[in-house]
Amino acid sequence: MATSVNSLAELVDGRVVGDGTILIHAGQSIGKAGPRQITFAEDAQNLKKLKTCRASAVVVSKEFVDSLPGDAAAAFLIVENAQQAFLQIMGHFCPPRPRRQTGISPQAVVDPSAKMGANTNVAPFAVIGADVVIGANGDICSGVSIGPGCRLGDNVTLHANVVLYHDVQLGNDVIIHASAVIGGPGFGYRMSNGRFERLPHFGSVRIGNDVEIGSCTTIDRAMIGETVVGDGTKLDNLVMVAHNCELGKHNAMAAFVGLAGSATTGDYVMCGGQAGIADHVHVTDHCRIATNAGVTHDLMEPGSYIGAPALPAAEAIKMVIAARTLPKMRTQLRELKSQVAELTACLESLTELPNRTEKTAA
């Protein structure tokens, strides 16, 4: 699908600087791009890499036009937003596969009481339980198991081997990736007669609209009430959301994030990989939790938090800097201790001197 730089410029409403007749066959990152490929430079750091870049064309934001190398052999495509335009160009070279209308496979197991919306596909070896309702334009892939009483909105995609326990609710435009488990019982036990006894979980899970959940992520059902994931929230692979957690709207959580039971978040909360939020802790709107941070108490002020226990970034950075000086401070403390001992000895000798003088005079 060779396309000229001029044609790509028309696609993204850009302006060409250089030879617009060059034919481009594919897109690639700036460090790996070669001849007949296009890449992008969205910031000053990437612009420096153009000296060694072998791409035939580069998408650049217009704010960096004056910084372009004058001796470059590549053609430049000037746009408002380099990354956005490049992604649009990548969509041209790698168009998504069209959605096929396959209907309900005869190899799927669908309870007679289940209701399917228009244009919903159910792949072979999927299992759909009693009283399930699935909206229009759904895609239920192979190996999916949907428990009794589940409610799925329109445009829901469940990838291979997703498991929904009973009575889980999904909104519209939800995507759940392979092997995620939604609605399993929470990790709740009590000690009785010297052994652990499981506590029953009578609640459910409710997922909002436009939510995407990564592979192997688990969201436990509530003990009482609902575990909630708000509209627009995006969860990476291998995220753990425990029973009775309530996530606000448009949260974003990277891999290995864990939320203990009844933790809650506001809207637009972001968590880096391996961050953890303790049980019954609340994180308010617009908080950014750094990688490996541990949130052990309520965070009621928007902002960035790092460390374990998580502290405001500015405060935590001061503590880290101070900690780095501890070896030097320890050496200084030893020296001061030695100096104090010497000064004390000198002072004691001075206070004894008058007494010696008086004895000599007598």
pLDDT in tens, 39-94: 999 888 888 888 888 999 999 999 988 888 877 789 999 999 999 999 999 999 99
The reply to whether 60 falls in a domain is yes
The reply to whether 155 falls in a domain is no
Count of the separate structural domains present in the chain: 3
Q: Which residues contact 86 (CB under 8 A, 6 or more apart)?
A: 27, 38, 39, 40, 59
pLDDT in tens, 266-320: 999 999 999 999 999 999 999 999 999 999 999 999 999 999 999 999 888 888 8
At residue 46, the pLDDT reads: 87
Q: What is the pTM of this model?
A: 0.86
The CATH number covering residue 57 comes to: 3.40.1390.10
Q: Are 182 and 165 in contact (CB under 8 A)?
A: yes
One domain, residues 299 and 337 = no
One domain, residues 195 and 243 = yes
Average pLDDT (91-113) is 95
Look up the domain containing 213 and give its range: 165-316
At residue 345, the pLDDT reads: 87
The reply to whether 69 falls in a domain is yes
The reply to whether 123 falls in a domain is no
At residue 359, the pLDDT reads: 60
One domain, residues 286 and 361 = no
* Residue 207 scores a pLDDT above 60: yes
Residue numbers annotated as active site: 243
Q: How far is CA 52 from CA 12, 37, 57, 65, 136, in A?
A: 26, 14, 13, 18, 50
The reply to whether 227 falls in a domain is yes
One domain, residues 235 and 170 = yes
Q: How far is CA 343 from CA 179, 235, 252, 337, 353, in A?
A: 72, 63, 60, 10, 16
One domain, residues 33 and 76 = yes
The reply to whether 88 falls in a domain is yes
